[in-house]
A and B are shown apart, each in its own frame.
Chain A
Amino acid sequence: MEPLMGMGVLALMGAAATIAGTTEDLESDVGSQSNPNSQVQLAPQMMYPHRIYNKAISGEPPSNALICAIGGTVASVLMTAGLSVIFAIAIGALIATAVHGTYCITAYMGRTASQKRFRQPIYLDILRSHTPVMMGYAFITTFCILVVSYIMVAVLAHPFPLTLLAFIWGITVGAIGSSTGDVHYGAEREFQNVEFGSGLNAANSGNIVRKAESGLRNGIDNSWFCAKFGGPVTGLAFGMTVFLSGWVTAVFNPALSLTMGWLSVAAGVILVLLMIIWNRKIEVAARKAFGPYKEEEEVAA
């Protein structure tokens, strides 16, 4: 393939991955999946009943692997049957989304029903308003992941079948969403009532913010907040992962010669080192700007 063409394909994959990462994180924020979930689950037990969607479809990696694998399977079957690629991917994502909806509903209803002794009610309006939002986000995520996987199979001639690639990318996007974006919700949004940077004191366990700017806070309020930073940053992280991991072999194509192969490895190592240094600098700058949490100030106050 022409190097310029290869770059264009990579850019398209990176763009699709960025959207997938963003929607994946926002989907998990609406339903309080993974990182923030433990506090949402704990809150009623600590006498803080809430109107936040409590959804745990295991972690994000398996749940995204599920929807992407189902989408990939259906798309692959439809393509084998002769349907056009766009239709196949769209219908695959649609069926995956429907399955995701049932997983969301059983997770919310089941977990809330199992908290009977803490008097946490099930709110059907939360179920009806939040589930379609999560299904919408899940559709976009699955669609974009299938686009990335299809490009890898059809254009880059990757030896793995579509379903397996979708499955692997599903795990990856879930893992990146879980580690990057959820911190923004779990550490900040849930504990806006305590001082920034104070960490989670054991006494505050379960004491999540339950009242919104107007009315009682719910999962959609949380995705509104996370869409400002947590979601896009997850998208960037995932987009960069897809783009840069392909970039090193697009520039230094290992198929051309062994030297090129080693150059691509070296380029990858240099990129990782640059990222580590860059991250360290951000961390140090943030510590300088915001400083450590000072215990004595609280005592003086």
Chain B
Amino acid sequence: MSAGGAGGEATGGIPQNQLIALGTLGGLAGVYGGHFLSVASPAFAFIGALGAICAIVWGSAAVRRVASYGLGTGVPSIGMIALGMGVVASMFGLAVGGIAGPIVAFIIASIIGLVVGVLANKVLGMGIPIMEQSMTEIAGAGTLTIIGLSVAMTGTFMFDAVLETVVATGYIAVIFIAGGMAILHPFNANLGPDEKQDRTLMTALEKGAIAMVIAGIVATVVDGASAVPSILIGVFIWYIAFSKYVKLVHRDAYKVLGTGLLPTEEELE
């Protein structure tokens, strides 16, 4: 009875190394691109959210890999711990790093993630072979998600601006939960023995787009970032990803019925 995943290594689809590259490079490029181009025009703040989406897709792929070892109800916890480590690392990194803030935060997150992974395996004895690597990845992805969405909200990752616009106003709460859910929900929503990587990652893209739209809504009352590009591009990405997701569900499902009775005994044999 492995209701919580296949109980073994997740297989198929895009190799994890490519997703790590997408998340790290895409995430950092989005964060820095959004930051520097917003100086020219606040309209470019949305690039930060695109970086966050890259990190979200990477994070959900990492959750999928580690949670495939039968974590079950642990899937939500892992998403929450990702953003928990992310908040600590990003606040520390942005506070001390200045212009190198996101990179400092990313490195700190990787260290925290590694320590948590080692603790989980060595002290708690969870015995999941890829635990250390996955926790490092998840912490990094959570950090880039938080910084990316903050850039989309404020147009900068400078600590004072982020503290004033994102933390003091409480919008950090929505970044925390919308980013965390975008990382944990994809695998949780597609949990089951016939889960497919492309369907899970498509859910991550769709949920990341929702986080982008929310960041855009916050940007309506912030001077440094403009809201319309974030909201419009977010809704566009959401629509594409959602349509694609429904297509993948139709591809993978046993049957998609308008309505009907339960499968008969013979059908189940």
Of B217, B238, B242, B249, the residue contacting A113 (CB under 8 A) is B249
**Interface: A114 (CB within 8 A):** yes
Instruction: Say how far B267's CB is from chain A's closest CB, in angstroms.
Output: 6
Q: How many B residues touch the partner, as a band?
A: 35 or more
B258 and A124 contact, CB distance less than 8 A: yes
Of all chain B residues, the one with the shortest Cβ separation from A47 is B268
Of B172, B176, B206, the residue contacting A106 (CB under 8 A) is B206
Of A81, A121, A124, A163, the residue contacting B263 (CB under 8 A) is A121
CA separation between A74 and B213, bound complex, in Å? 11
B253 and A57 contact, CB distance less than 8 A: no
* SS of A interface (majority): helix
**Interface: B13 (CB within 8 A):** no
Of all chain B residues, the one with the shortest Cβ separation from A163 is B170
| Contact digits for B238-253, partner A, Cβ 8 Å, 1 yes 0 no | 1000100110110011
A58 and B184 contact, CB distance less than 8 A: yes
Q: Known contacts A58-B188, A70-B174, A77-B220; is A119 also within 8 Å of B193 by CB? A: no
Within 8 A of B (CB), among A97-134: 99, 102-103, 106-107, 109-125
Please, how many residues of chain A have a CB less than 8 angstroms from a CB on the other chain?
Answer: 59
Which of chain B's residues have a CB closer than 8 A to the CB of A69? 173-174, 176-178
Which of chain B's residues have a CB closer than 8 A to the CB of A205? 1
**Interface: B218 (CB within 8 A):** yes
Which of chain B's residues have a CB closer than 8 A to the CB of A63? 181
B263 and A66 contact, CB distance less than 8 A: no
B190 and A123 contact, CB distance less than 8 A: no
Which stretch in A48-56, A138-146, A245-253 binds the other chain? A48-56
Which of chain A's residues have a CB closer than 8 A to the CB of B36? none
Which of chain A's residues have a CB closer than 8 A to the CB of B254? 113, 115-122
Instruction: Say how far A82's CB is from chain B's closest CB, in angstroms.
Output: 10
| Contact digits for B257-269, partner A, Cβ 8 Å, 1 yes 0 no | 1111111000110
Within 8 A of B (CB), among A60-108: 62-63, 65-66, 69-70, 72-74, 76-77, 80-81, 95, 99, 102-103, 106-107
Chain B interfacial positions (CB closer than 8 Å to A): 1, 3, 73, 75-76, 79-80, 168-174, 176-178, 180-181, 184-185, 188-196, 199-200, 203, 206-207, 210, 214, 217-218, 220-221, 238, 242, 245-246, 248-249, 252-263, 267-268
Interface CB pairs A-B, < 8 A, 26: A41-B192, A42-B1, A49-B262, A57-B181, A57-B188, A59-B76, A66-B178, A69-B178, A70-B174, A72-B170, A72-B173, A73-B217, A76-B169, A76-B171, A81-B220, A109-B249, A111-B191, A114-B190, A114-B191, A114-B193, A114-B252, A119-B267, A119-B268, A122-B254, A122-B255, A167-B176
